[in-house]
């Protein structure tokens, strides 16, 4: 069965940058549709960025979604980090594309990766 895992979180100073990665295991298919969510401490989970197969959208220009074909992963780059960016970041894979180009739709969540920003 396909599993999704996030990586790249950690303790980061405000103003810095980091890159989170989302990888899918158990399949040789590529990630097509992916969304990123953030859950701040004691708050509801919120959508922050996404890549619906093509193009990108984000809640702020400091968040950028990109592909890393060499690692078969999708990345979330965060620039000019702020303390309010602190939270657990989740990758939600919605679509995988096989070698024939066919899209397989899923709703797979990773366990999340913690991002803590200090000033």
* pLDDT for 107: 94
* pLDDT for 88: 98
* pLDDT for 72: 76
Using a pLDDT cut of 90, give the percent of the chain over it: 67
> How far is the C-alpha of 94 from the C-alpha of 104, rounded, in Å?
8
Question: Can you list the residues of the chain whose pLDDT is less than 50?
Answer: none
Q: Which long-range contacts (CB under 8 A, 24 or more apart) does 102-108 make?
A: 103/32, 103/33, 103/53, 104/29, 105/33, 106/2, 108/2, 108/3, 108/4, 108/24
> How far is the C-alpha of 10 from the C-alpha of 17, rounded, in Å?
11
* pLDDT for 68: 81
The pLDDT tens digits for 67-93 are 887 667 899 999 999 999 999 999 999
């Amino acid at each position: 069965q396909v599993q999704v895992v996030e990586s790249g979180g950690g303790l980061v100073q405000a103003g810095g940058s980091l890159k989170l990665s989302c990888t899918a295991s158990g399949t040789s298919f590529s990630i097509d549709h992916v969304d990123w969510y953030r859950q701040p401490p004691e708050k509801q989970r919120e959508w922050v960025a996404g890549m619906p197969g093509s193009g990108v959208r984000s809640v702020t220009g400091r968040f950028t979604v990109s592909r890393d074909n060499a690692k078969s992963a999708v990345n979330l780059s965060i620039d000019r980090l702020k303390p309010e960016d602190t939270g657990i970041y989740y990758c939600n894979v919605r679509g995988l594309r096989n070698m024939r180009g066919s899209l397989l739709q899923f709703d797979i969540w990773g366990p999340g990766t913690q991002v803590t920003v200090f000033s």
